[in-house]
Amino acid sequence: MFGIRLMLLLAVMGGIIAFIADKLGSKIGKKKLSVFGLRPHDTSVLLTVLSGVLISLFSVGILAISSESARTALFGMEKLQKELTRLDAEKNAAEQEYNKAMNSLKEKNEAIAGLDRQIKEVNDAKIAAEDNLKNANANLAAVRGQYEATQGALVTARDEVRSLTEAREKLNADIENLKEETKVLQEGLAFMRGGQMMYRSGELVFSGVLQGGLSEEENKKQLNWLLDSANGAAKNHIGLAPDANAELVWASRQECDRLLELLHKAKGNVLVRVRSVANTVVGQPVLCGMEVLPNRLIYKNGAKIHQKVIDLNDKAGNPDQAFMSFLQEINQMSVKAGVLPDPLTGKVGNMNAVTMVETVTKMQRMGGKVRLTAYADGDITTAGPVQLRLQLEKAE
């Protein structure tokens, strides 16, 4: 809109100046006026030229007054050209600096990537070194254990050699005394060896039935009860008083966390067996693992477990052997049914010696063929033990 108004203004102004110049030229021509001694015709031409000059000057003046861009184009073009030249030079310099910065950035990125690779390689080497260190520590512990065992065996062997040497020196003096001393020596050596070993690897320390699906606090209480009971069983195993202040059983944090997680997920009762994971001598803590198994019902109270007819007239055996064979068969059947045996002895229960003697005596009195039946004396679960109620009767 501004441009249209400016064009209209210039047109109107040019028409007015032309009109005025035409009127002046007509008057000058009619009156035959002369300026600067010129002829009237030349004066009219001069006036026309001046009017054109005025139109141009006014046009340029109006443009300069009305537009900053026009003023700049008319009077500041050379300055603009110099400014453009300077800006182009600065632009070229900036582009060069930018290219240099990009090249430097690319080099630094490549260096950073190289450093990252080196860091990764160093971390991998660190992890491998840590694994090697763990393996070396484990091997060192095993070697130390073997060394200690070897030293104990060497000391025992030296004692045996010393004792045997003394016995050989006394052999010529009194053979009977030598036999007696040798017997005492062997008994003492067996007792010493038995006293040194507390638990063998895999030996059962304690077993208990825990309830699954309880709260976290209740599960922690059950775990503490299990560890306390296992510690009490270990103290009883070596003859310490129950109130003795001794922590013999130790379980790793991983084992305890694993048991708590299994108790949280379990439904119903579970059997937990605390077992030694390594040979342990008296004076060392018993490192234990925890074996978790479902504690299902194997035999109900009063269920018949096994029945057998024994011929006491058979001269190939005797009542003691027949009765022990009967108990072994019950042991095998119970294990097959799901009762967990002792890891070392393979037995699922123990029978009172008095009951055994009474049963064998009764069999001998009855004579001939007898029928021996074993019933479950109470509910028997996976945890055991297998408690028996025996019934003896004459077989037809």
Q: Tens digits of per-residue pLDDT, 213-260?
A: 888 899 899 889 988 988 988 888 888 888 888 888 888 888 888 888
Average pLDDT on 154-170 reads: 80
Domain limit, last residue, from 75, 98, 117: 75
Residues 264, 321 within the same domain? no
Q: How many CA atoms lie within 13 A of 174 on its CB side?
A: 6
Q: Tens digits of per-residue pLDDT, 215-225?
A: 889 989 988 99
Is 379 a member of any domain? yes
Domain limit, last residue, from 75, 107, 135: 75
Is 134 a member of any domain? no
pLDDT band for position 333 (cuts 50, 70, 90): confident
Is 318 a member of any domain? yes
Residues 208, 286 within the same domain? yes
Max avg pLDDT among 199-203, 317-321, 353-357 = 199-203
Is 190 a member of any domain? yes
Asked if residue 286 lies in contact with residue 233, where contact means CB atoms within 8 angstroms, the answer is no
> Number of structural domains, the chain?
4
pLDDT at res. 202 = 82
Biggest alpha carbon–alpha carbon distance for the chain: 187
Residues 319, 372 within the same domain? yes
pLDDT band for position 21 (cuts 50, 70, 90): low
Is 125 a member of any domain? no
Among 177, 182, 204, which residue's Cα sits nearest to residue 345?
Answer: 204
Asked if residue 49 lies in contact with residue 76, where contact means CB atoms within 8 angstroms, the answer is no
List 310's β-bridge partners, or say none: 370
- pLDDT higher at 153 or 225: 225
pLDDT at res. 24 = 66
pTM over 0.85: no
Phi, psi dihedrals of residue 45, rounded to the nearest 5°: -65, -45
Residue 26 CA, distance from chain mean position:
112
pLDDT band for position 190 (cuts 50, 70, 90): very low
Asked if residue 364 lies in contact with residue 338, where contact means CB atoms within 8 angstroms, the answer is no
Percentage of the chain beyond pLDDT 70 is 78
Residues 289, 245 within the same domain? yes
Residues 308, 385 within the same domain? yes
Q: At what angle do helices 40-66 and 68-75 cross, to 10 degrees?
A: 120
Asked if residue 284 lies in contact with residue 141, where contact means CB atoms within 8 angstroms, the answer is no
Please report which residue ranges of 32-76 form alpha helices under DSSP H.
40-66, 68-75
DSSP letters for 186-199: HHHHHHHHHHHEEE
Residues 190, 224 within the same domain? no
Reduced 3-state DSSP string for 225-284: HHHHHHHHHHHHHHCCCCCCCCCCEEECHHHHHHHHHHHHHCCCEEEEEEEECCCEECCC
Average pLDDT on 318-333 reads: 83
Residues 313, 387 within the same domain? yes
Residues 164, 193 within the same domain? yes
Q: What is the span of the domain harbouring residue 377?
A: 299-394
Is 291 a member of any domain? yes
pLDDT at res. 187 = 46
Residues 20, 69 within the same domain? yes
Residues 386, 304 within the same domain? yes
Domain limit, last residue, from 44, 75, 106: 75
Mean pLDDT for the chain? 78
Residues 257, 171 within the same domain? no
| Neighbour tally for 87: CB within 10 Å | 11
| Neighbour tally for 205: CB within 10 Å | 22
Residues 330, 287 within the same domain? no
Q: Tens digits of per-residue pLDDT, 108-117?
A: 888 898 888 8
Report the distance separating Cα 326 and Cα 347, nearest Å.
Answer: 14
Is 123 a member of any domain? no
Is 48 a member of any domain? yes
Distances (CA, A) of 121 to 109, 125, 212: 18, 6, 47
pLDDT band for position 191 (cuts 50, 70, 90): very low
Q: Tens digits of per-residue pLDDT, 83-123?
A: 888 888 888 888 888 898 898 888 888 889 888 888 988 88
Report the distance separating Cα 332 and Cα 93, nearest Å.
Answer: 96
